[in-house]
Amino acid sequence: MAPCLPSGERRVSKNDKKIATRRMTLKTVAEVLNVSTATISNAFNRPDQLSAALREHILQECERLGYNGPNPAARSLRTGATGIVGVMLAERLAYNFRDGCATEFLQGVSEVLDDARINMLLMPGRDDFYQLQSLESIPDRYIVYGPPRDIGVINRIESQRKPVVTVDFSLPNHLSLNVDNYGGAKQAAKHVFSKMGAGPVAVIGLRLISSDYVGRIKDRALLDPIMSISRQRLEAYRDAAAEVGIEINGDQVWNTHESNWADGVKAAREALSATPRPQALFCMSDQLALAALSVARDLNIKVPDQLRIIGFDDIPEARRSHPAVTTVYQPSIEKGRLAAMMVLHPDRYESRVLPTQLHIRETG
Amino acid sequence: MAPCLPSGERRVSKNDKKIATRRMTLKTVAEVLNVSTATISNAFNRPDQLSAALREHILQECERLGYNGPNPAARSLRTGATGIVGVMLAERLAYNFRDGCATEFLQGVSEVLDDARINMLLMPGRDDFYQLQSLESIPDRYIVYGPPRDIGVINRIESQRKPVVTVDFSLPNHLSLNVDNYGGAKQAAKHVFSKMGAGPVAVIGLRLISSDYVGRIKDRALLDPIMSISRQRLEAYRDAAAEVGIEINGDQVWNTHESNWADGVKAAREALSATPRPQALFCMSDQLALAALSVARDLNIKVPDQLRIIGFDDIPEARRSHPAVTTVYQPSIEKGRLAAMMVLHPDRYESRVLPTQLHIRETG
DNA sequence: TTGAAAGCGATACCAC
DNA sequence: GTGGTATCGCTTTCAA
């Protein structure tokens, strides 16, 4: 079908065929443009290795030819780096999209990474995800947000010998970023006791034990304070109670599995039907406190007159609710930003504990 | 330093040295175990190609040697696949962690992907992210959530010829998943007019124009209904208004850039100080409606007696607020789940429009 | 400034 | 069921 063309035309036609037929690679582009592969590579990776004009020309031609830049798999195989930051989450991913505190943290992380043009890979903390392939080798650096459910993934990450920043827990020989859970919780509890004196209290805890049980912890084994921020908060509540001469035992502490409405309502309902009824509820998240507040309303219990409620985190809803929730502020977004900066420049930072701050509002 | 050992020992020593010295690759493992590389590869990828006993042995040895499985870069270079699903977001990542509707969507997506042991890569919809490397070649399939800010990334994705599911907008030749924005918005507006008759109204819109301007749209150019769910909702409000004989013009429509408290407060404040004051506020998200509600409270305007407010999305806070917000429910989590299933099995699904549903509560 | 060539780590075909 | 080997696309040294 194709008419016979003069040789000049034929050459173009040959190139066009190359363009139409093959998938574009650095090599085909080099052939079409009649330069070496090294030159194309340099155009993308080392602007200083060739003239600005040539680089510009190459980049334009690549665009025209539909070559979008070096293949990341090949590049990363060659260089051993991907430029991706892994964000290892303690649980399933879905949980982190549900929890206000986690999303604020991720927001902070993504702000910094986005600005730096760095991609982030969200990784679940479950072993089965990494079993048959070493997914953990994709990122160049890691932010580990909370102790992963399966300890195996920690080993996999450590064996990579890449920069790691742990958040809300610590690992030997790695940068860590924590928040003053104990101090904040203690201050809040002391405030409550200073208002109400030594009365009965209950704690609505969050993942104090490793199962998904929701209810009184009684004498169940609790997670270690080193790995569990909730445990740190619990000890603070207990110490504050001890200072006014009362003891918080396992019958007055509820466990929830997730910081959500349903768990909060269930725990608060149980706690508020205990005898004697608690005069204060120490909740380990604002979400739980908000749920407790709604239960109190249903039960016609006046807050704060008959019941004081304190939360933790200081999410926006805590401030906006009526009555507004007294809570311990932690800088979640800032924590995310800082974690990202730390992992990008490990040498410029040291491990830190960020301050928390009691925000006294209407519920406690 | 090493003492002279009998040859049997020496062989072990040689292997140990291999173990200690080299980074583990499929090849070194094969050498140490004295089998071929193909066999190791098969142990990980094709259990049927070797005896169960041998496979078990190999897997155990790999674990002992600290070989965590095939390198994803090398594997993906060879096979052309990564098993990763890309979730392309319209804007910066941070925005999606801030917006209740987006996080619900992501929650749905991640539930399905997590269960399927598939990793997801969140990708910003900005061109500059992909400029010097074809990051878009990493995922095997794409969910595109809302029209990307830069149209260039669409081209990059399309040139990959991989399964694509678009959400909240459509692209020729790709599966799409939408929600009945027009129907829901119209039903809500009609409900409001049926209650209050033909009075002055205002619209608090969300990204109706492409800039980050917050204020009256007046006669600014609006985004096309094909690409903008907000525009679809606006047309629905207008049509419902027309049915009772009133017109909603650019002076009665506010634009916000983000569905957040600050933008909502600003727009609502302006809208409620207009003359004549609107008797109804049609808000394009619950977050905006909640902000408007709080402004009304500040201004001592009785809701719903003096002002009706309707939202969109039906996020949990809408239900829990006092008064509870009348809104249009859209199945965000389900939308996420479905998008994930569609992208995993494109052949089993067709493009769909999910129904929305008016939830009449107290504000409108 | 450019070109040739080695090799990153794995897979899959084909022969045994 | 196992072993040899070409190849995926790129980066980088070295020499020209």
Q: In angstroms, what separates the C-alpha of A71 from chain B's closest C-alpha?
A: 6
Which of A268, A247, A252 has the alpha carbon at shortest distance from A311?
A: A268
Q: Does the CB of A25 sit below 7 A from strand D?
A: yes
Average pLDDT over residues B197-207: 96
C-alpha distances in angstroms, A308 versus A192, A198, A269, B109, B236?
Answer: 7, 13, 15, 38, 46
The answer to whether residue A2 is domain-embedded is no
Place of tokens 């499929």: B26
Q: Residue B9 — pLDDT band, cuts 50, 70, 90?
A: very low
Q: Do B125 and B155 lie in a common domain? A: yes
The residue assigned the tokens 């207990």 is A238
What is the domain-level CATH number for residue B110? 3.40.50.2300
Listed residues B119, B150, B179: the one ending a domain: B179
A residues 216-275 lying closer than 8 A (beta carbon) to B: 261
**Position B303 in a domain:** yes
Q: Is the confidence at residue A4, as pLDDT, over 50?
A: no
Q: Is residue A349 part of a domain?
A: no
Residues 88-117 of B with CB under 8 A from A: 92-94, 97-98, 103-104, 106-108, 110-111, 113-114, 117
Q: Looking at the complex, does the CB of residue B320 fall below 8 Å from at least one CB of chain A?
A: yes
Cβ–Cβ gap A97/B75 under 8 Å: no
d(CA A352, CA A303): 36
Pair B103, B171 in one domain: yes
> In B, which residues are within 8 Å of A110 by CB distance?
92-94, 97, 122
Name every residue whose Cβ is closer than 8 Å to that of residue A272 and which is 6 or more positions away in sequence. Answer: A278, A281, A292, A295, A296, A299, A301, A307
What is the mean predicted confidence (pLDDT) over A219-239? 96
Convert the pLDDT of each residue in B176-192 to its tens digit. Answer: 999 999 999 999 999 99
- Note the pLDDT tens digit of each residue in B208-227: 998 999 999 999 999 999 89
Rg of chain A, C-alpha, whole Å: 28
Which of the 8 DSSP states describes residue B23?
Answer: P
Chain A's closest residue to B65, CA to CA, is: A159
Contacts (Cβ under 8 Å, ≥6 apart) of A208: A217, A222, A223, A228, A230, A231, A234, A253, A255
Show Cβ contacts of residue B139 under 8 Å, excluding neighbours closer than 6 positions. B82, B84, B85, B86, B121, B123, B162
Distance CA A214, CA A262 (A): 10
Are A150 and A228 in the same domain?
no
User: How would you label B166-188 residue by residue, b for 16+ Cβ within 10 Å and e otherwise?
Assistant: bbbbbbeebbbbbbbbbbbbbbb
Write the CA distances from A142 to A83, A85, A165, B38, B136, integer angstroms: 11, 6, 6, 32, 22
Q: Are residues B44 and B174 located together in one domain of the fold?
A: no
| Calpha distance A168→A353 (Å, rounded) | 9
- B208 lies in the same domain as B317: yes
Using CB atoms, pick whichever of A44, A74, A320 lies closest to residue B294.
A320
DSSP state of B90: S
A348 is a domain residue: no
Task: Judge whether B300 lies within some domain.
Answer: yes
Same domain, B190 and B173: no
Q: Classify the C-alpha dihedral B93-B97-B101-B104 as positive or negative.
A: positive
Handedness of CA A309, A315, A320, A326 (dihedral sign): positive
- Domain C-terminal end among B133, B154, B179: B179
- Nearest nucleotide from residue B53 CA, by C1' atom: D1
What is the CA A41 to C1' C7 distance in angstroms? 17
Contact of B294 with chain A, judged by CB distance below 8 Å, is answered with yes
Residues A146 and A195 in one domain: no
User: Per residue in A151-174, pLDDT tens?
Assistant: 999 999 998 889 999 999 999 999
Residue B119 lies in a domain: yes
Residue A37's CATH number: 1.10.260.40
CB pairs under 8 A between A and B: 140
Three-class SS of residue A143? strand
**Smallest Cβ distance to A124: which of B44, B114, B137?**
B114
Same-domain pairing of B168 and B192: no
**Secondary structure of residue B82 in the 3-state scheme:** coil
Which of B152, B179, B206 terminates a domain? The answer is B179
Confidence of residue A22 (pLDDT cuts 50, 70, 90): low
Report the residue of B103, B153, B162 to disrupt the A interface, i.e. the one with the largest count of A CBs within 10 Å. B103
Is residue A275, in this structure, part of any structural domain at all? yes
First CA to last CA distance, chain B: 86
Distance CA A261, CA A268 (A): 10
pLDDT tens for B283-308 read 999 999 999 999 999 999 999 999 99
Count how many residues are written for chain B.
364
pLDDT tens digits, residue range A66-103? 888 999 999 999 998 999 999 999 989 999 999 999 99
Are B42 and B109 part of one and the same domain? no
Q: Do B195 and B260 have their domain in common?
A: yes
Within a domain: B133: yes
> Domain of A163?
81-179
Same-domain pairing of B62 and B147: no
| Pair of tokens at residue B194 | 């049926």
Q: Are residues B316 and B189 in the same domain?
A: yes
Q: Which residue has the tokens 């930003």?
A: A337
Judged by CB atoms closer than 8 Å, whether chains meet at A107 and B98 is answered as yes
Please count the structural domains in chain B.
Answer: 3
pLDDT score of A240 more than 90: yes
Positions of E strands within B198-341? 201-206, 215-216, 253-256, 280-283, 308-310, 327-329
